A = this chain, B = another copy of it.
Amino acid sequence: MLRKDVLTPLGIIIGIAVIFLAIYIAGGYDAFLTFISLSSFVIVFGGLIASLFVGFGVSEVKNMFNVLHTSFRRKEVPIQQFIHTLVRLARTSKMDGMIGGLEKEREKTSDPFIQKGLRLVIDGYEEDMIRKVMEMDILAMRKRHARGRKIITKAGELSPAWGMIGTIVGLVLMLQQLNNPDELGPAIAVALITTFYGVLLANLVFIPIANKLELLTEEEVFLKEVIIEALVSIRNEEGPAILKDKLQMYLIESAEGTALLDKLEGDRTYEQKEV
């Protein structure tokens, strides 16, 4: 929830630093140059892009960079602000009447999910209907995210394969032109660099990022489920106290529960002054 996604770039930097450090320990400064190879780069990146073009559509390929970017951005899910809003909604609903008060709030809210939910509450839909409509929204988001994540997962499978293709190309070329056994070592070294690129890219970038994207989706789903519970509570005119209890039941199961609830207490005090 309160995760700073500075971890993603930090992790990649640490990963590269670790490689550099190990190379330095084992081979000194001069060894770095060994690991730079244009043809390896061309095969792994070019081949990966080629396979992704064959396997996905224009929109997925374009979207891939947005998806990668998502996992890099410092993401502060505004849980406090959301709970703030939800508790204020419950109070407004009690004080100003359901329809007038919520309509005013709906115009102020910037979150489209809460807006949609409030419209359903204002329109007087049943609890079951509100749940069903909002959960279809969550399902749609889940499917959309899964689709965006799939290209990253596939990239994680394809980049070691292209690394291997590049190494085979390198070995074939090297073995074919082998005149002098002394050149064998360096030539194999060059061939192996492509595998190194492919495996590193998969295990430091694609596989972990696909995992982080899944976690981010789960968190967004969790947040939206909390919002649904809050909206249903408002719809049933249960009042801010019971709403807080319900949120508590939901938050208690997540690791960040206690911290969040402490903050909620603080917000409520602040809120009461504000009103």
Cα–Cα, bound, A185→B174 (Å): 8
A266 surroundings in chain B (CB, below 8 A): none
Interface code A1-15, partner B: CB below 8 Å = 1, 0 otherwise? 011110110111011
Residue in chain B with minimal CB distance to A202: B161
A253 surroundings in chain B (CB, below 8 A): 140-141, 143-144
Residue A99 is within 8 A (CB to CB) of chain B in the complex:
no
Interface code A205-234, partner B: CB below 8 Å = 1, 0 otherwise? 101110110010000000000000000000
Contacts A7-B54, A57-B7, A212-B55; is A185 near B192 (CB within 8 Å)? no
Number of chain copies forming the complex: 5
A25 surroundings in chain B (CB, below 8 A): 38-39, 42
Chain A positions near chain B (C-beta within 8 angstroms): 2-5, 7-8, 10-12, 14-15, 17-19, 21-23, 25-27, 31, 34-35, 38-40, 42-43, 46-47, 49-61, 63, 71, 140-141, 143-144, 154, 157-158, 161-162, 164-166, 168-178, 185-186, 188-190, 192-193, 195-196, 199-200, 202-205, 207-209, 211-212, 215, 253-256
Contacts A8-B53, A212-B57; is A204 near B22 (CB within 8 Å)? no
A50→B204 contact, CB < 8 A: yes
Contacts A161-B203, A186-B176, A189-B171; is A42 near B18 (CB within 8 Å)? yes
B35→A215 contact, CB < 8 A: no
Contacts A39-B26, A140-B253; is A50 near B192 (CB within 8 Å)? no
Cα–Cα, bound, A10→B58 (Å): 11
Contacts A165-B200, A172-B189; is A22 near B42 (CB within 8 Å)? yes
Contacts A54-B208, A188-B175; is A46 near B21 (CB within 8 Å)? yes
Residue in chain B with minimal CB distance to A7: B53
